[in-house]
Chains A and B, each alone.
Chain A
């Protein structure tokens, strides 16, 4: 049972504690470039999800046969394979979104978060953990993309997944769908995330301190 709990933890850590965007600040290129609408963000997140889970699975399965000297190029080949699959599938299934995402689909190869997970995790752990870790990390990435894309689409167009929210009189915040809006929103989200983490840490410290005092009091009385 113990192994199950750690595998679960490997997944959860990517969603929150080690979130690739909010904590590790990795993969900024797609993060800023394709999040001008929620649907683009979600498709980009799904593409990354597929690539990361697939390549983590392969890298972890083949780790005994990958020579140390050429490991990076082999990881890149594996990643590029999955990216090609995603690229052609999107072109076939969602041509409009594929056109909007443009060069950023092939550029998933260069997403440092994906290569980072292969080098730091998948090549050192067994398949189960590697896949759980990949699910968590890409899930965290997707959450971040989705958060950014939603904020930018709601303010910048007044819509959510293309559904009009505010009626015809809405004044769009043009800056939000332009690159500066991406930087601005990401910065504010990072600020909020760090503030929240800090407050949580302070709260936990306070609780621990109170517990320590209480235990010390009991010891003294007993």
Chain B
């Protein structure tokens, strides 16, 4: 046995390696989503758990079916498909029939990722694409919201969850309006405290601003996401809605309401910052974030839908290649 000399390390370049691999980055996002997912369970009970697991199952199963046999273990080991399923599940209403959640997961991966060539080659955020498909396909089921319960109703499953495939859900409880819906159609604001804690109606993962902020700050501290995108979205959305609020405070919501309601926080931290579908350059990130912040307020205040985060992000995803092209840094020593 030759004794290795620990002072002499023989190794070919590169000697400096980045710790950040795809599975590691995915793990960070899983951890960051944990508080919001727990809040989903707390407020919406077993229904939320069922929807999350079914949409994850739909996504992972689709990835498994459409990946080459040799690449399967590799493709599934980075957990990105499951993460897409979880993100999709967090944007779904708690009373959605489970077969729709499964279909959404399958569409997210099938049409959102695999068809473009797999991880890293898709144009649109897969989870949001799945949600857009569901919203276009089942507009009524996707906009029927159950009220947030509490831990006391943990074991109550919405009967609409258990609809047979291709069948309508039978809604049991009275449906509740989301804070954004109340704002849009009745110009009625919701208390900021409820928005902050999450005790409101809405998609299962978007209600608790506090826990989403916690997850977002974790990602920012871990440098998993570019801080410019959330910063640009918050600043633009706050500024735009502040201008509108000052111009007519009776009709338009306050900036804080804009930031803490709906899917703005969830979308900002976990979907807009998707490294595949957001710009690469720092300047591009600012443009991307400003675009989302502007569009989301525009759609909320003037569009037909109460919530605009979904389409704001998808539209800016579409513009990302163009942004990247026009914000290329100048090569040193060259003009233009």
Task: Mark interface residues in B285-328 (1 if CB within 8 Å of A CB, else 0).
Answer: 00000000000000000000000000000000000000000000
Q: Which residues of A contact B97 (CB under 8 A)?
A: 171
Contact of B168 among A171, A178, A184 (CB under 8 A): A171
Q: Which residues of A contact B136 (CB under 8 A)?
A: 174-175, 178, 180
- Check A173 against B137 for contact (C-beta < 8 Å): yes
Task: Mark interface residues in A10-47 (1 if CB within 8 Å of B CB, else 0).
Answer: 00000000000000000000000000000000000000
Contact of A171 among B111, B133, B138 (CB under 8 A): B138
Q: Say yes or no: is A176 at the interface (Cβ < 8 Å to chain B).
A: yes
- Check A174 against B138 for contact (C-beta < 8 Å): yes
- Check A171 against B139 for contact (C-beta < 8 Å): no
Task: Mark interface residues in B121-149 (1 if CB within 8 Å of A CB, else 0).
Answer: 00000000000010011110100000000
Q: Which residues of A contact B137 (CB under 8 A)?
A: 173-176
Residues 144-179 (chain A) with a chain B CB within 8 angstroms? 158, 166, 169-171, 173-176, 178
Q: Say yes or no: is B74 at the interface (Cβ < 8 Å to chain A).
A: no
CB distance from A175 to the nearest CB of B (A): 4
Q: Which residues of B contact A158 (CB under 8 A)?
A: 166
Report the tally of A-B residue pairs with Cβ distances under 8 A: 31
Most buried by B among A158, A170, A174: A174
Who on chain A is nearest to B111 by CB?
A: A184
Whole-angstrom CA separation of A191 from B169 in the bound complex: 32
- Check A166 against B166 for contact (C-beta < 8 Å): yes
CB distance from B160 to the nearest CB of A (A): 11
Whole-angstrom CA separation of A158 from B136 in the bound complex: 16
- Check B168 against A169 for contact (C-beta < 8 Å): yes
Task: Mark interface residues in A179-207 (1 if CB within 8 Å of B CB, else 0).
Answer: 01000100000010000000000000000
Q: Say yes or no: is B192 at the interface (Cβ < 8 Å to chain A).
A: no
Q: Which residues of A contact B115 (CB under 8 A)?
A: 191
Q: Which residues of B contact A170 (CB under 8 A)?
A: 166-168
Q: Which residues of A contact B133 (CB under 8 A)?
A: 175
Who on chain B is nearest to A176 by CB?
A: B137
Whole-angstrom CA separation of A184 from B112 in the bound complex: 12
CB distance from A20 to the nearest CB of B (A): 24
Number of interface residues of A (CB under 8 A): 13
Task: Mark interface residues in A65-89 (1 if CB within 8 Å of B CB, else 0).
Answer: 0000000000000000000000000
Q: Which residues of A contact B111 (CB under 8 A)?
A: 184
Contact of A174 among B139, B163, B166 (CB under 8 A): B139
Q: Which residues of B contact A176 (CB under 8 A)?
A: 137
Q: Which residues of A contact B168 (CB under 8 A)?
A: 169-171
Whole-angstrom CA separation of A162 from B229 in the bound complex: 50
CB distance from B73 to the nearest CB of A (A): 24
Task: Mark interface residues in B145-171 (1 if CB within 8 Å of A CB, else 0).
Answer: 000000000000000000100111100
Task: Mark interface residues in A91-124 (1 if CB within 8 Å of B CB, else 0).
Answer: 0000000000000000000000000000000000
Q: Which residues of A contact B141 (CB under 8 A)?
A: 171
CB distance from B9 to the nearest CB of A (A): 49
CB distance from A39 to the nearest CB of B (A): 22
Whole-angstrom CA separation of A145 from B139 in the bound complex: 27
Q: Which residues of B contact A173 (CB under 8 A)?
A: 137-138
Whole-angstrom CA separation of A169 from B133 in the bound complex: 21
Whole-angstrom CA separation of A158 from B166 in the bound complex: 9
Whole-angstrom CA separation of A175 from B142 in the bound complex: 13
Q: Which residues of A contact B100 (CB under 8 A)?
A: 171
Whole-angstrom CA separation of A180 from B97 in the bound complex: 23
Q: Which residues of B contact A180 (CB under 8 A)?
A: 136
Whole-angstrom CA separation of A155 from B87 in the bound complex: 26
Task: Mark interface residues in A205-222 (1 if CB within 8 Å of B CB, else 0).
Answer: 000000000000000000
Whole-angstrom CA separation of A158 from B168 in the bound complex: 12
Q: Which residues of B contact A191 (CB under 8 A)?
A: 115
CB distance from B219 to the nearest CB of A (A): 33
CB distance from A141 to the nearest CB of B (A): 26
Who on chain B is nearest to A167 by CB?
A: B167
Whole-angstrom CA separation of A175 from B139 in the bound complex: 9
Whole-angstrom CA separation of A131 from B111 in the bound complex: 41
A-B CB contact pairs (8 Å), 20 listed: A166-B167, A169-B168, A170-B167, A170-B168, A171-B100, A171-B138, A171-B163, A171-B166, A171-B168, A171-B169, A173-B137, A173-B138, A174-B136, A174-B137, A174-B139, A175-B136, A176-B137, A178-B136, A180-B136, A184-B111
- Taking Cβ atoms with an 8 Å cutoff, the residues of B that contact A are 97, 100, 111, 115, 133, 136-139, 141, 163, 166-169
Given contacts A169-B167, A171-B167, 11 further A-B contacts (CB under 8 A): A158-B166, A166-B167, A171-B141, A171-B169, A173-B138, A174-B137, A174-B139, A175-B133, A175-B136, A180-B136, A184-B111
